[in-house]
Amino acid sequence: MSVTVRLPTVLRVHAGGQSSLEAEGSTLREVVDSVVGEYPGIGGHLLADDGSIARFVNVYVNDEDVRYLSKLDTAVSSGDEVAILPAVAGGQLDPNPAGVRSA
């Protein structure tokens, strides 16, 4: 089954600049294995050491968060769309959070 995988900008460098890929599989795990098999550089950004989806990566199948489905065992069908979105966080830490003035 052919599934479209949408890649965020940060992962496109590992896929020759492509913003989307076609992958085969009947579960998200098979789709991920297909993508990582063809583009190994994506694996380190997408998967944790134990083979699960990395903590700060959100994956959606047809706009449904796989954390609330069956994670990597989520079923996919031909024509489905998988979106990979790394979590965005950050900001500047306040070097003086208590507002203490130095002399």
Q: Is residue 79 part of a domain?
A: yes
User: What total of structural domains would you count in the chain?
Assistant: 1
Q: 63-77 pLDDT, tens per residue?
A: 999 999 999 999 999
Q: Is residue 77 part of a domain?
A: yes
CATH of the domain at 68: 3.10.20.30
* Strand partners of residue 53: 47
Q: 5-22 pLDDT, tens per residue?
A: 999 999 999 999 999 999
Q: Are 11 and 42 in contact (CB under 8 A)?
A: yes
**Residue carrying structure tokens 């079923």:** 75
Starting at the edge strand found earlier in the chain, the sheet holding 2-6 runs 20-24, 2-6, 81-86, 57-61, 64-65
* DSSP H helical ranges for the chain: 9-12, 28-38, 40-46
Range of the domain at 8: 2-86
